[in-house]
Chains A and B, each alone.
Chain A
Amino acid sequence: MLEIRKLSVRYRGRSKPAVSDLSLNVNRGEFVLLAGPSASGKSTAMQAVCGFIPHMTPAECTGTILLDGVEHGSPEAIAGIACMVQQDPETQFCTETVEEEVAFGPENFRFAQAKIRDSVSHALRSVNADHLMERKLSTLSGGEKQKVAIASMLAVEPKLLILDEPTASLDPRSVGQVVGAVRAMKARSDITVVIVEHRVRDFIDMADRLLVIEEGVLTRDAIKGGEEFAAAQNSAMVHPSYHRPTGEGTSPIITIRDLSLEIDGWPILDDVNLDITENSVVALMGENGSGKTTLLRHMTGLQMIQRGEMNICGHRMSPDRVVDAWTLGRDVGLVFQNPNHQMFEDTVEKEILFATHNFQTSEQKALLAVTGFEEREGLKRFVHPHCLSFGQKRRVNIVSAYSHEPRVLLLDEPFAGQDQGNVDRIVSLVADIHRSGKTLVIVTHDEDFARQFCTDAVVLYEGRVVASGPTESIPEGVWRSLRGGDRG
């Protein structure tokens, strides 16, 4: 079905190729898991297969890509033969409703109206999403959006479907939905599927083959039934281990009492009560939409208190007593979910010093942070932050949010879309910050990290705290419910 011969891709302005001399075959009807660390060239290779590279993203590209034995070239020629579902479904939607979105492809290929209706229902049924047909895209959960994105590609009846990290940024329940959808799709069709994933655990049992790319080169090709595949399957099941830092304080640094927020009559937070002690590392957990980010926004003063009160680093806040985000910012740092929302300068050095200059705090420690970043990452301080890899951008965000030494650092899903190597680097950074006596509140879906590394955990469900306290005290049923099982 797919044959790649000696493919090399180098992005403009980069000295090192993203993909180097890559050759691989995917047979018709196969279900292939394409794994490898972040920035190893997996997505680049698949974008070249779809013709997006070099036609839409400029890059030097050599080698041959054959689909069904034919070299196609442009993405227009490849459309309908090979389709790619990208990481973020939100950016791929061009209509308003599920039906319109799934019908978009068949409409472009000029299917007859009756056939469009059939294709839409069949594609949605294939991913267990036929009940979503009449819904607006804006009302769907993350997992449902990803299912619709897959269905919208299936509707054009491609021979090869590529899913690029389909579960990145999803909570465990949504991951379960997407994995279920892929399983249903595999059972109901003989389409060739390539799943690009660095987290192979979710899909390895469905895969016929495992291909691993490292630094742009194919390093492993294991077929189901073989020893190598079994070894990969076993290693995927091994959970990462973290060491909990020591030194938690006893005095409270964040106290929240009866905090509630309603928007358009809909409860976002409901009677939240919390005590967070100094120098603790708190995992803030819950499904997407459970109120985690809203709680962080309250802690930074970005969201005004509607009901209840909060004391953070000595700043007392209530509906009648507002402390602005700028004043709180000296004591409370926040790292947002999307790295690109929070990079304002044209060099890494300026980016790290940004908050230090704004808050007019001492530059000395911030400059040490710049040097530390240079040494850890092996890059120069004059590099443009937007030229960094996704993992490096995330680490620049953390160092930048911490350079003015706030007493509390809040991190909103720092591990989203990161491979294990990058997760380990972030954990090491977090451990360093904790060692300097700071308090950290980390929004995460990573149960291993929460249970092994964090001193405390807070679990939210539909805006309510359903469990909080030292991680050991959180009931097993709550962890199970976070994994997408029955609510305990």
Chain B
Amino acid sequence: MTADARSHLPGLNPVTKLIVLVTISVFVLLASSPLTMLLIVASVLAAKQWFGTKGRFTKGVIGFASAIFIAQILFNHSGETMVSLWLISVTEGGVNSGVAIAGKFLSLIMMSWIFVATTRPSEFSSALICAKIPYRYAYLPALAMRFVPIFELELGSVREAQVVRGLKLDKSVRGLIRSAKYTVLPMFFLAMFKVNSLAASMTGRGFGASKERTLLHPKRLTRWDLALMLSTVGMVVVVLLIDRCQDWPPSIIY
């Protein structure tokens, strides 16, 4: 899935993608108009579909966003009442704030997913190093991205080992505490072992021995990257300024 997704954005520099992601995220955080938010969510979901799908993850995120939306409708009673059903009254304020909060959550998570799915960890670190970030720090996100699937697998094995030895956990708070108790210890030792082993391997190959390092495949910014970065940042700034200075057309932010 990830490899396919990556092939859709072959030449784009990861730093460009990061800056575009941060810029659009700022816009998403500022926007609260329901129509704008629905348009953003639709665009992000379409992009997500284009870059590939990951069933359980998408369902989980959409499920959580729906829960946020429903909670806002149930507990936010500001504004005029739109519909009244027995004890529940759906208000304009509840719907607007539900769309805004759930939309922000959904868009930010999905956009981050697209970034991770279309970015190779080593290319990302290479791009950060070319952007003059010290390589010790530039490698951190790459290592974190590399270890996520490994820890996912390890966690799966720990859970399976619990099940075959009869650990049955309910979804109550007590069950969650028990689950954490029996998961944290093995995961801690597994993580420590892996981190030690990786640190030894990297140090043994000279990582950190000098201030700089050569890159076999440097990932430098191209003119296209700069154009995309500037146009995205520029567009968002212009939209925000227009929105702030004019009475018409109606605000897309508020």
Contacts and interface: CB of A to CB of B under 8 A. Distances in A.
Interface of A: 47, 50, 52, 56-57, 75-76, 78-80, 83-84, 86, 88, 90-97, 99-100, 103-113, 116-117, 120, 152-153, 156, 297, 300, 302, 325-326, 328-330, 332-334, 336, 338, 340-346, 354-355, 357-359, 386, 400-401, 404
B121 A358 contact: no
Interface of B: 120-122, 139, 142-143, 146, 150, 154, 157-158, 160-168, 181-182, 185-186, 189-190, 193-194, 196-210, 212-217
A258 B111 CA distance: 44
Contacts of A401: 164-165
A96 B209 contact: no
Contact of A83 (B146, B182, B204, B215): B204
Main secondary structure of the interface of A (DSSP, over half): helix
Contacts, number: 175
Contacts of A108: 205-210, 213
Given A56-B203, A57-B196, A116-B216, A110 B210 contact: yes
A42 to B, nearest CB: 16
A341 B216 contact: no
Nearest to A325: B163
A333 B164 contact: yes
Q: Which 7 A-B pairs give the minimum distances between C-beta atoms?
A: A358-B166, A105-B205, A108-B206, A92-B201, A342-B161, A91-B197, A355-B165
A398 to B, nearest CB: 12
Contacts of A50: 200, 204
Nearest to A115: B214
B216 A91 contact: no
Contacts of B160: 297, 302, 325, 336
Contacts of A99: 216
B168 A326 contact: yes
A300 B164 contact: yes
B165 A329 contact: yes
B154 A404 contact: no
Contacts of B142: 94-95
A17 to B, nearest CB: 20
Given A76-B209, A326-B168, A103 B216 contact: yes
A344 B183 CA distance: 7
B246 to A, nearest CB: 49
Nearest to A334: B164
Contacts of A358: 165-168
Nearest to A328: B164
A76 B216 contact: no
A118 to B, nearest CB: 11
A92 B198 contact: yes
A338 B165 contact: no
Contact of A96 (B122, B161, B190): B122
B185 A344 contact: yes
B154 A341 contact: yes
A91 B166 contact: no
Given A96-B122, A340-B186, A340-B189, A88 B197 contact: yes
Given A88-B197, A325-B164, A116 B206 contact: no
A340 B162 CA distance: 12
B213 A341 contact: no
Contacts of B210: 108-110
A297 B161 CA distance: 11
Given A110-B214, A342-B161, 8 more contacts: A79-B205, A90-B150, A93-B201, A96-B122, A105-B206, A153-B204, A344-B186, A386-B189
B194 to A, nearest CB: 5
Contacts of A297: 160
A404 B194 CA distance: 32
B206 A341 contact: no
A94 B194 contact: no
Contacts of A90: 150
19 contacts: A75-B200, A79-B204, A79-B205, A79-B207, A80-B206, A80-B209, A94-B143, A95-B146, A96-B120, A106-B214, A109-B210, A325-B164, A330-B166, A341-B157, A341-B158, A341-B161, A342-B186, A354-B165, A401-B165
A102 B182 CA distance: 38
A154 to B, nearest CB: 11
A321 B48 CA distance: 36
